[in-house]
Chains A and B, each alone.
Chain A
Amino acid sequence: MSVAQRILAGDVRAVARLLRDIDDQIPSARNILKELYPHTGRAYILGFTGSPGVGKSTLVDQMAMEYRKQGLTVGILAIDPTSPFTGGAILGDRIRMQRHFLDDGVFIRSLATRGHFGGLTKSTHDMITVLDAMGKDIIMVETVGVGQDEVDIANCAHTTVLVTIPGMGDEVQAIKAGIMEIGNIFVVNKADREGSRKTVRELRNLIELGLRRTGDEQWEPPIIETEALKGKGITELMDAVERHRQYLLENDRSQWEAVSQKRAKTQLLETLREEALAELLRRMGKRGQSLDDLVRKVAERQTDPYSVVQDLLQCELR
């Protein structure tokens, strides 16, 4: 059996190793992805974002359990940061997902950002392709929990869940651009904490002010209060996800098509950017031109980055 056939048959070892090859940017992994791509597009992709410590892993864990009760299979990608100093990482999200470790219907993979910004890894789109091809019904992506600007997940998921907790910020936080704009569903987790009602109120005002994603006026993002550790509010959150899915599918699936296009465009552009750069560097190498040389010349102000790039493109893209 070929690797692609093993993946389509749900072989966990093959899936795990292919994900590794993708993450390490092994060129042969691309050929396997080519074979898998026609078999994808079936899975529903859910993104979870929000600051560190708001309880994203616990929510993902609870929802995975509920989806399993419904007989659906689940893939989880859990992203944690890479150290900018050593390149190492501690990936600890599985701690909160232990009850699934022996369930064949759940596949969990921990990923390190490896210097990629935006909340995902370079490899996230391709990894979703693999989990989709292996037959997972629901794929949950937990972004790295940092920053106000990690909005890549919105180009990757059908439904983006923005998780916050009471007392995280004030009204100014709530009207800043970026992460607050990408939620299709808002969750106020740890809702037993003081100030939960106030947080919900602030979020509601924000939504009513019309600061929601452009072109999405039909969908009013719901705000769900949860206590993930106790499983409270999970049913309501699951209902909200289902309502959002239905919303994407209604009216001749126009919203659904829009999300599919957005996902395809992001994946295409990212792949193009990566491959074009790799090809350019390869061609430079072939001609004996060294990147280090160019870097030195720019650093010493013998030339500038703009001229170098212009020259390179003129020379290589002829």
Chain B
Amino acid sequence: MADERKLRILIAKPGLDGHDRGARVIARAFRDAGFEVIYTGCHQTPEQIVSTAIQEDVDLIGLSILSGAHRYSFPRIMELLKENNAEDITVIGGGIFPLEDIPKLKAIGIKEIFEPGAKLEDIVQWVRTHVKPRKAMVA
């Protein structure tokens, strides 16, 4: 009588800026979509984010950024996921990004970038379409 598998999502804010309203809004939207959202608040290092994602066994990491720190933190997070054999975790970003950075981020494996003005229902729909709860460890 297995329950339906729940999608687990980590919402994290890498870097030094302390504005997490956007992150909290998206966390709430994911909650309302029926997902389990782990929210860690501001000021996270890439190491902390990846360690949390692994301990919590999430399917998706959503990174919220306003400060420009993505140029350092996003590649570092992707590296650390690889080092920990956790590349199966999908990573998306939201916030403010210079247009020219977006292709670069996608090239390192960030699956999608949502800019200000993106509709919450579109983001939720994207997640439903692209991220499936992982399979059981032993069939």
Contacts and interface: CB of A to CB of B under 8 A. Distances in A.
Interface of A: 3, 12-14, 16-21, 23-29, 31-32, 82-83, 86-92, 94-95, 98, 101-102, 107-110, 112, 114, 274, 277-278, 281-282
B107 interface: no
A95 B136 contact: no
A13 B84 contact: yes
B138 interface: yes
A69 B55 CA distance: 22
Contacts of A27: 2
A92 B50 CA distance: 17
Interface string B108-139: 00000000000000000000000001101111
B86 interface: yes
27 contacts: A3-B138, A13-B54, A13-B84, A14-B137, A16-B55, A17-B57, A17-B134, A20-B57, A21-B136, A21-B137, A24-B6, A28-B136, A28-B139, A83-B32, A86-B33, A88-B33, A88-B34, A89-B31, A90-B39, A94-B40, A95-B39, A95-B40, A98-B41, A98-B48, A101-B51, A102-B47, A107-B55
B54 A88 contact: no
Interface residues of B, number: 38
Given A17-B137, A91-B39, A92-B39, A101 B1 contact: no
Contacts of B134: 17, 20
Nearest to A92: B39
Interface of B: 1-3, 5-6, 8, 27-28, 30-41, 44, 47-48, 51-52, 54-57, 84-86, 133-134, 136-139
Contacts of B31: 83, 86, 88-90
B1 A25 contact: yes
Q: Say whether chain B's binding surface is mostly helix, strand, loop, or mixed.
A: loop
A90 B36 CA distance: 6
Given A13-B54, A16-B54, A26-B2, A91 B37 contact: yes
A235 B136 CA distance: 42
Contacts of B138: 3, 21, 28-29, 31-32
Contacts of B133: 24
B10 to A, nearest CB: 10
Nearest to A31: B138
B56 A109 contact: yes
A122 to B, nearest CB: 9
Contacts of B36: 82, 88-89, 91, 112
A29 B39 CA distance: 27
A29 to B, nearest CB: 7
Contacts of B56: 16, 91, 109-110
Contacts of B55: 12, 16, 107-109
Given A3-B137, A31-B138, A107-B55, A281 B37 contact: no
A19 B137 contact: no
Contact of A26 (B6, B8, B40, B136): B136
A281 B2 CA distance: 12
A89 B40 contact: no
A120 to B, nearest CB: 16
Contacts of A94: 38-40, 52
A188 to B, nearest CB: 27
A102 to B, nearest CB: 6
Given A18-B137, A26-B137, 17 more contacts: A13-B85, A13-B86, A17-B134, A20-B8, A24-B2, A32-B137, A82-B36, A88-B31, A88-B34, A88-B35, A90-B27, A90-B37, A90-B39, A101-B51, A102-B48, A109-B55, A110-B56
A98 B49 CA distance: 10
A89 B1 contact: no
Contacts of B84: 13
